[in-house]
Structure formats: C-alpha cells, structure tokens
Amino acid sequence: MSNGGEQVVYVVDDDQGMLDSTVWLLESVGLKALPFTSGRAFLDACDASLAACVLLDVRMPGMGGLNVQEEMRSRGLDLPIIFVSGHADVPIVVRAFKAGARDFIEKPYNEQLLLDSVQQALSSFDERRSTAGGQGQLQERLDSLTPRERDVLLPLVQGYTNREIAEQLDISVKTIDLYRARVMKRMQAESLPDLVGMAIAAGLVDPLKLR
C-alpha cells in the first residue's frame, strides 16, 4: 500500500439528504466516504490509524460537532477536522479552531471549496506523518524568533486580537501586523490554526486554557 493506504473521509451529519450529497461529491473525485448520522456512531467506528479526515456538522441533536471534537481529543483520535455549519456564529468558529479544527465551511457549501479543504486536510496528514520527527525542527523555528516576536506569538495563539496585543505590548496595531506576519513566516505556519497547533505541540500553551 502506498501512502498509508486508502484515503478516507468520515462524514458526520444528521441531515440524510446532506449526507448523501456530500458522500456522492467525495466519491465523484475518487475518495472513500464513510457516512454517519450521529457523532456517537462515528466515534464508535472511527479508526485513527487511517489516512482520514472528518467532515463534521456543528449542530446535531444529542452530540454536537464541538462535543464530538472534544471526545475525539480525549480518546486520542488525532484526525484533521473540517467543520460544516449552516450558522457560522463567531464563538463557535473560534472554539472549533482553538481546539484544532482545520477549516470551517458554511452550508450550503461551495463544492470546490469543500473538496479543496478535504484534499488539503488529507495531504496535511501525509506531511504530519513525515514530520512526526519534526519536533526538533519546531523547536529550532521557535528558537529563531526574536524576544519581541515571541511576545507577539503567545497572545496570538491564545486568541487575543491584534488590537488587544498592541495594547498589552504598548505598540501600534500596524507593528503587530508586521510581527504577526514575521512570526507566521519564521514558524512556517500557513494559517493561524496552524500556528496554534504548533504552539500546542511545542507545549507553549495548554489547549484547554485558551480564551
């Protein structure tokens, strides 16, 4: 088997019509999609050794998407999660990202956007496997930050806004923007969730104590 075997997408959505159309879409590009109408059923069947990602509906009766995400974490099921929701209320999006979600897509979703996100999550999986020994690299990147960049990194990954960080450090928001861009570049982070993930992996922040 090449590349850890077949790539699988777990699709968890209580809306059967939505579930069917998403499965059909994924299978049309050659991905294997496994549908579940409840978080519990998915958790019972989830196999974290697969090269897989999870498309997770936020609002479901019984166990909502964020609860499923927490339960996955406590069971050590470390698969990339893409949330899908008809209501992208900001607190939910923030919570999802802080707990390590890869993406958040609003329903009705753009099919290409969803496929791109899934492909990215699956390829990140391969990268993660190959950089499992990358803890040393991560430390090197952290060590390359200037003290001021580190000052910006911590509140940034804890969920403070640029404006709040500017007030904390008594510098302008424009300067924070600059530092933020430099931190992302030095850490080789593609997005803020990516950066948060690195900070958690490096033990700089406790994921449960984020804002």
Instruction: Name the pLDDT band for 21 (thresholds 50, 70, 90).
Output: very high
DSSP bridge partners of 54:
10, 81
Question: Is domain 7-130 classified as CATH 3.40.50.2300?
Answer: yes
Residue with tokens 């294997």: 32
As a whole number of angstroms, the longest Cα–Cα distance in the chain is 55
Q: Does domain 134-203 have CATH number 1.10.10.10?
A: yes
> Could you state, in order of their start, the residue ranges of all structural domains in the chain?
7-130, 134-203
Contact 145, 153 (CB under 8 A): yes
Please compute, for residue 105, the number of CA atoms within 13 A of its CA located in the half-sphere on the CB side.
23
Q: Is the pLDDT of residue 99 over 70?
A: yes
Task: Determine the pLDDT at residue 2.
Answer: 38
CA distance 149 to 123: 29
- State the CB neighbour count (10 A cutoff) for residue 134: 15
Q: In what order do the strands lie in the sheet with 103-106?
A: 32-36, 7-12, 51-57, 81-85, 103-106
Assign 186 a pLDDT band (cuts: 50, 70, 90): confident
The pLDDT confidence band at residue 68, using thresholds 50, 70 and 90, is very high
126-165 pLDDT, tens digit each: 555 555 556 678 888 888 887 788 889 989 888 889 999 9
pTM, 2 dp: 0.61
**108 preceded by a cis bond (ω within 30 of 0):** yes
